[in-house]
């Protein structure tokens, strides 16, 4: 999963994209864990040694559902990821 998500970011970086809108990648019909998906995005984008930490100017998440939103919000509020 992390490899697939990383490929998305790699392609966007190679295309020169600076502003991204990402989703909760497979947490609907495919029933991937929201916590896992949010954590992978955070690791790729904001982690201490994140490969894509400075690749994009703005990344927003288009999230449906209060519980999914809350999980993403908590993931990004966790200071251990910075």
If DSSP codes are grouped into helix, strand and coil, which group holds residue 43?
Answer: helix
Q: How far is CA 75 from CA 38, 56, 72, in A?
A: 6, 19, 5
Predicted pLDDT of residue 79: 56
66 within 8 A of 33, measured Cβ to Cβ: no
Give the domain extent around 56.
2-81
| Tokens matching residue 38 | 């949010």
SS3 60: strand
Higher-pLDDT residue of 50 and 79 is 50
Reported confidence tier of residue 59, pLDDT bands at 50, 70, 90 = very high
Percent of the chain with pLDDT over 90: 70
Count of domains forming the chain: 1
Alpha carbon distance 6, 22 (integer Å): 12
pLDDT in tens, 15-53: 999 999 998 888 777 788 999 999 999 999 998 889 999
The model carries a pTM of 0.86
Kindly report the CATH number assigned to the domain that includes residue 19: 3.40.220.10
Nearest in space to 23 (alpha carbons), one of 4, 47, 51, 49: 4
């Amino acid at each position: 999963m992390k490899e697939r998500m990383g490929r998305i970011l790699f392609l966007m970086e190679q295309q020169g994209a600076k502003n991204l809108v990402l989703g909760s990648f497979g947490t609907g019909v495919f029933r991937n864990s929201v916590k896992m998906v949010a954590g992978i995005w955070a690791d790729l984008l904001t982690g201490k040694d994140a490969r894509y930490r400075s690749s994009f100017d703005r990344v927003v998440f288009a999230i449906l559902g209060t519980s999914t939103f809350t999980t993403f919000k908590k993931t990004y509020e966790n200071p251990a990821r910075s």
